[in-house]
Structure 1
Amino acid sequence: MDFFAAQDHARRTTRLLVGWFAAAVVAIVLVVYVALALVLGLGGGDAPGAPPPSLWQPDLLLATAVVVGGFILLGSLYKIVALAGGGGAAVAEALGGRLVPRDSRDPLERRLINVVDEMAIAAGLPAPPVYILDAEQGINAFAAGARTTEGVVAVTRGTLERLSRDELQGVIAHEFSHVLNGDMRLNLRLMGVLHGILLLTLIGRILLRGARGSDKNAAPVLLMGLVLVVVGYIGVLFGKIIKAAVSRQREFLADAAAVQFTRNPVGLAGALKRIAGYGSELGHPRAEEASHMFFGSGLALSRVFATHPPIEERIRRIDPSFRPDEARAMPPPPAPEEEAADALGGLGDELSVGLAGRVALDPNELAAAVGTVRPEHVDYAQHLLATLPPGLHDAAHRPGGAQAVAFALLLSPDGETADRQLDTVRAAHGDAIATQAAELRGTVRTAGRALRLPLLDLALPALRELSDEARQAVLATVDALVRADGRVSLFEYAVQRLLQRALQPRPRLSAVLLTPHRLRQDCGLLFSMLARAGHVLETEVEAAFTHAGRFAPLDGPYPLLDRAAIRPESIDAALDRLAASTPPFRRRLVEACAAAVIWDGRVTPAEFELLRTVGEALDCPLPPLPPAAVAGPL
């Protein structure tokens, strides 16, 4: 899967969606205008000598366009803003979803969290919050969110209870494909666009209820209400067609990507076969709004309006020998306890948890790896989770422990500085969290650098369970820990940036505000930071910086900045602006960033750590380095 091509396709589809929406609004305005002209003519027909009603009334057309078009537009914008603010969590909760606690002891919920965690690590993403739709027995799932790093994954109770681990992994891999290829944001916008049209039906119903009296003017009001209801339903009808057109092909692509991710077509095919046997329908009254998001069709619709291809066709693309009677004859899945022994099937000692080596890479290869998941990444994630020290694993899945993990990552190797940092933690969060952070400090250091960012990614969902006030306290403490020794290391900056992005997300800047001059300055700042990150000699820094310029998305010249000019707040602002650029621009930017650290053809784990942070800030997630590529010790 080409991440940047998929993202660009999603942007083009969004523009098409705007065009379809505009065409629908124009059609609705014209229908309402004609109805109003007729109603007003009907109301004035009693006056003797009155002229016959005319369908051409420019003032009425303008007023209708302003009122009806403005109403639809405001309704859609309100919904889009609300969904962007609430994110995927708002969608999951609107459909009856329940947030699964990260420290859940339920075996089925634990298995689900583990599968989501391993797929997130394999994709180079923070582990997303997980929701369960407890009232739904059909087999279904969806991913929702405005950005790749801010999505949630939700599954139905039927998915949890009726699928094996391999089948569940296939479903989650399918949903992560939607996360990576830009479908989530498109789906939220589609929900918002259709909401404005749906409001006309609600107004029509209000008018119909108000016209039930015996007043002589009830007939025009009744007719107008009926027109709005009909127009609203016509809009919904076209909305279903639009959803079907947008979603169907993307489901085939997500199925193919899931098989590619897991190298296990049997898992995904098994999940689809169980849907063929059990069904995937949802009973929630708002399921229709989000039908285009689901793994399987959430509603029983005709093929014209179906948002998903026929289930048999999806199965046959994975398993050409499929016969319909197989779905009815599938045995029940094994219990989670029975699968535990096989959870690491196929893994051996050849996988190294640490990436303490030098890995040969190419800037083009690294950019091509963005947003992709290969089977070796999934194997690595499974192995990493299985070998993670139990104390770290358990702590990262509890809100209090997750705070201790984040603080432990930032404790200085210098004992005196670490003591001051722990005093800061104790004053803000209490003795228990400070003590746990001190206990985890040694474990974190022993586990190695390769575990640092994955460990933080695992802790982020538990940190998101904190109240807004507690989140702000965590960020304030992190800032104090980072500045405790009077300097900010690149790793400290990375941790602080990732935590701020997760716990205090900022609205995305508009690409309209970007100018070539501003982008060139931001790129120069980024190249300077990366060139200086892994090189000490000025000649090496200059060579790395020059190498980055050869891959840059804009022609130079780029100024090489001194270390004193590379400040955290400047980097934050630059990354926010660069994240609003187009996918083709960001592809070239990722190549240039990679070139800055691997100008000699190699990248160390520490440099990759920084690259991964930059990639995440640009909404370009980088998977972990392939363990098989480790060439030797530093």
Structure 2
Amino acid sequence: MDFFAAQDHARRTSRQLVGWFAAAVVAIVLVIYLALAFALGLGESPPPGAPPPSLWQPDLLLATAVVVGGFILLGSLYKIIALASGGGAAVAEALGGRLVARDSHDPLERRLINVVDEMAIAAGLPAPPVYILDAEQGINAFAAGSGTTEGVVAVTRGTLEALSRDELQGVIAHEFSHILNGDMRLNLRLMGVLHGILLLTIIGRILLRGARGSDKGAAPLLLMGLVLVVVGYIGVLFGKLIKAAVSRQREYLADAAAVQFTRNPSGIAGALKRIAGYGSEIRHPRAEEASHMFFGSGLALSRMFATHPPIEDRIRRIDPAFEPGEMPPPAPLPETTEYDDGSGMADGTPVAGLAGLAGPQRLSAEGFAATAGTVLPAHMDYARHLLAALPPALHDAAHRPGDAQALVFALLLSADAGIAHKQLDEVRAVQGPALADRSAALRAAVVTAGAALRLPLLDLALPALKELSGEAHRALLATTDALVRADGRVSLFEYALQRLLRVALQGRRSGLRPAALATPGRLKDDCGVLFSLLARAGHRTEFDVEAAFTRAAGLAPLDGPYPLLGAADIGPARIDAALERLAASSPPFRKRLLEACAAAVLHDGQVAPEEYELLRTVGEALDCPLPPLPPVSAD
């Protein structure tokens, strides 16, 4: 299943989830209605000559549907909104997770961060924050978040201590598959949908306690309390069935993706074998809410209600020769020095640079779009070598919150000495002299590293920047805006950095202009904005610009004609608004759109760093992450 097919499947499953939720609410309303009808009349003898009481009481049914259905709906909406605003961090912290500092000196934590960094670069994603569930000794992990660029990865203490690096990499690759394929958003919606049903059990218990403390009128309270508890548990039962139906097949797919990503079946298979021997139980009281998110089954459930396939079946799909009871030897704990270079390479092998990693490859627009949301072994090799070749000063700066700010400023410093001096004065005035001096010191290393490392450096720095306070975030964004405006123009890289930074620190739509209604005509205009931008980004003559634009328009998801816009008509605000509307389109639409965008860039047979950075920014806005792109030539 390719990325866009997986995204489309996640959308269909979300719609099915709404149907299952509606069916569960109808069933609950009917049960409560029958209980009320009995309590209010069916249990009493009718007066002489009066007709017998009837089960059909439309007014009561309507009132029950409004009150009970509305209560469940509001409870679910509240939870969905809370999860959307808190994101994956809220889920990890609710389960007892601790945020791992990016500059941690603990060897186990350093190994985990390096593995996550390696996978993020290979996937073309900002490195996600990492959490550890210190109280959990079972081998387990999960990824949570509302979008590909807004997730977190969490692992248990048992995962850190029991797994080798290859096995840990297999687990992280499994979780990145969930990030890429839209599973995280679906999982959050599932948590929210089921929350409203669970509230009934809570209210039922409150009524039962009230009945025990009441001398008069205890019977109705007792009856309604029992009904709500029973109905609530029925809702829990249906919730388990829904979670099992949603999760099982996706676990098989994520296991297969981990093998594809790492080219190492023994890694993910070894992790699963250790679970078979040691277990994956999560003991936190709220584990039930997130059971469908875990790498391994976090609860002891029957196969009917299990959110995961049997562990033996998962192992056999990867290792057909597996025999029950087979266990890998205990994993040795890493030595402190093994990962101090930050290379992400298990043997610490030094690499001189990135030259020679991949020669020019022929790539079509369709082939480029097909790389979205994928991680191939070549991408993993690229990520390992990139991290190994990264100058220590830049690697260390990206992992420290204060220095990460200086790194962002260094990425924006102009090659013109006069403008750079003006930019440093702005940093000095807002952030202080120490940060300005640090930015100037890092500038030389940034220039030496080259343009190809600009986005990976930003990707590595974002988790450290997220550790800063909200006030520091606002100051950082204000300072970057001032640095960009220092020369009176906005380059492609500056736009990409500003947008990626803003989305990472404030959320996908925070600070962006509200999108107008995404009608076909409006979407067509938005496509024209992107085609014009990309055609002008990498072509110097107007003839080449028009040819690139025409090639993109010929592959557009909507029929033309498309007018070519002038450079003055394509400002950052207009690009942001276009991306916001296009992000709500269907996966097939976005696939065609990416193909058209790639056609504009590939027209001249080259992909300059600025063009890739712009394509990567478009991909992230569309929730279609793009992996690293080696040197290419167009078909």
Segment drifting more, 540-549 vs 594-603: 594-603
User: Of 612, 617, 622, which residue of structure 1 is paired with 2:621?
Assistant: 617
Cα drift, residue 625 of structure 1: 1.3
**Are 2:519 and 1:520 aligned?**
no
| Distance (whole Å) between structure 1 residues aligned to residue 156 and residue 150 of structure 2 | 20
**Which residue does the alignment assign to 1:552?**
556
**Which residue does the alignment assign to 1:566?**
570
Q: Percent same amino acid among aligned pairs?
A: 78
Cα drift, residue 513 of structure 1: 3.3
**Which residue does the alignment assign to 2:420?**
418
**Which residue does the alignment assign to 2:264?**
264
**Which residue does the alignment assign to 1:331?**
330
Segment drifting more, 426-435 vs 123-132: 426-435
Asked if the contact 2:361–2:633 (Cα under 8 Å) also holds between the matched residues in 1, the reply is yes
| Distance (whole Å) between structure 1 residues aligned to residue 392 and residue 289 of structure 2 | 42
Q: Which runs of 5+ in 1 are unaligned?
A: none
| Distance (whole Å) between structure 1 residues aligned to residue 586 and residue 461 of structure 2 | 31
Asked if the contact 2:605–2:632 (Cα under 8 Å) also holds between the matched residues in 1, the reply is no
**Are 2:262 and 1:224 aligned?**
no
Segment drifting more, 161-170 vs 351-360: 351-360
Against the structure 1 CA distance between its residues 4 and 155, is the aligned structure 2 distance closer, same or farther, given a 3 Å change threshold?
same
Q: Render the CA deviation track for 1:319-369: whole Å, top value 9, x for unaligned.
A: 111112222x62333424486599256989797259998654210000000
Asked if the contact 2:161–2:333 (Cα under 8 Å) also holds between the matched residues in 1, the reply is no
Q: Render the CA deviation track for 1:174-211: whole Å, top value 9, x for unaligned.
A: 00000000000000000000000001111111111111
Q: Render the CA deviation track for 1:279-301: whole Å, top value 9, x for unaligned.
A: 00011000000000000000010
Asked if the contact 1:165–1:339 (Cα under 8 Å) also holds between the matched residues in 2, the reply is no
Against the structure 1 CA distance between its residues 50 and 433, is the aligned structure 2 distance closer, same or farther, given a 3 Å change threshold?
farther
Q: Render the CA deviation track for 1:406-457: whole Å, top value 9, x for unaligned.
A: 0000000000100110010011111111111000111101101110000000
Segment drifting more, 531-540 vs 339-348: 339-348
Cα drift, residue 582 of structure 1: 0.8
Cα drift, residue 510 of structure 1: 11
- Give the aligned residue type for 1:602: Q
- Give the aligned residue type for 2:218: A
**Which residue does the alignment assign to 1:3?**
3
**Which residue does the alignment assign to 1:29?**
29
Segment drifting more, 287-296 vs 604-613: 604-613
Segment drifting more, 401-410 vs 606-615: 606-615
Asked if the contact 2:526–2:578 (Cα under 8 Å) also holds between the matched residues in 1, the reply is yes
Against the structure 1 CA distance between its residues 222 and 46, is the aligned structure 2 distance closer, same or farther, given a 3 Å change threshold?
farther
Q: Render the CA deviation track for 1:498-546: whole Å, top value 9, x for unaligned.
A: 1111111144999993100100011101100000000111010000000
Residue 132 of structure 1 aligns to a residue whose secondary structure is strand
Cα drift, residue 550 of structure 1: 1.0
| Distance (whole Å) between structure 1 residues aligned to residue 472 and residue 620 of structure 2 | 24
User: Of 465, 476, 490, which residue of structure 1 is paired with 2:467?
Assistant: 465
Asked if the contact 1:354–1:449 (Cα under 8 Å) also holds between the matched residues in 2, the reply is no
Segment drifting more, 284-293 vs 427-436: 427-436
Cα drift, residue 78 of structure 1: 0.5
**Are 2:345 and 1:343 aligned?**
yes
Against the structure 1 CA distance between its residues 195 and 511, is the aligned structure 2 distance closer, same or farther, given a 3 Å change threshold?
farther
User: Of 397, 400, 403, which residue of structure 1 is paired with 2:402?
Assistant: 400
Asked if the contact 2:143–2:184 (Cα under 8 Å) also holds between the matched residues in 1, the reply is yes
**Which residue does the alignment assign to 1:597?**
601
**Which residue does the alignment assign to 2:20?**
20
Against the structure 1 CA distance between its residues 523 and 351, is the aligned structure 2 distance closer, same or farther, given a 3 Å change threshold?
same
**Which residue does the alignment assign to 2:437?**
435
- Give the aligned residue type for 1:588: R
- Give the aligned residue type for 2:411: L
RMSD: 2.2
Aligned length: 629
Asked if the contact 1:358–1:604 (Cα under 8 Å) also holds between the matched residues in 2, the reply is no
Cα drift, residue 386 of structure 1: 1.2
- Give the aligned residue type for 2:332: P
Cα drift, residue 47 of structure 1: 6.4
| Distance (whole Å) between structure 1 residues aligned to residue 16 and residue 442 of structure 2 | 51
**Which residue does the alignment assign to 1:76?**
76
| Distance (whole Å) between structure 2 residues aligned to residue 31 and residue 221 of structure 1 | 16
Against the structure 1 CA distance between its residues 346 and 377, is the aligned structure 2 distance closer, same or farther, given a 3 Å change threshold?
farther
| Distance (whole Å) between structure 1 residues aligned to residue 329 and residue 421 of structure 2 | 59
Against the structure 1 CA distance between its residues 215 and 199, is the aligned structure 2 distance closer, same or farther, given a 3 Å change threshold?
same
Against the structure 1 CA distance between its residues 631 and 553, is the aligned structure 2 distance closer, same or farther, given a 3 Å change threshold?
closer
Q: Render the CA deviation track for 1:250-276: whole Å, top value 9, x for unaligned.
A: 000000000000000011111001101
**Which residue does the alignment assign to 2:123?**
123
- Give the aligned residue type for 1:479: D
Segment drifting more, 48-57 vs 196-205: 48-57
Residue 568 of structure 2 aligns to a residue whose secondary structure is helix
Segment drifting more, 545-554 vs 350-359: 350-359
Large movers: runs of 4+ above 3 Å: 42-52, 213-216, 336-342, 344-351, 353-360, 506-513, 629-632
**Which residue does the alignment assign to 2:249?**
249
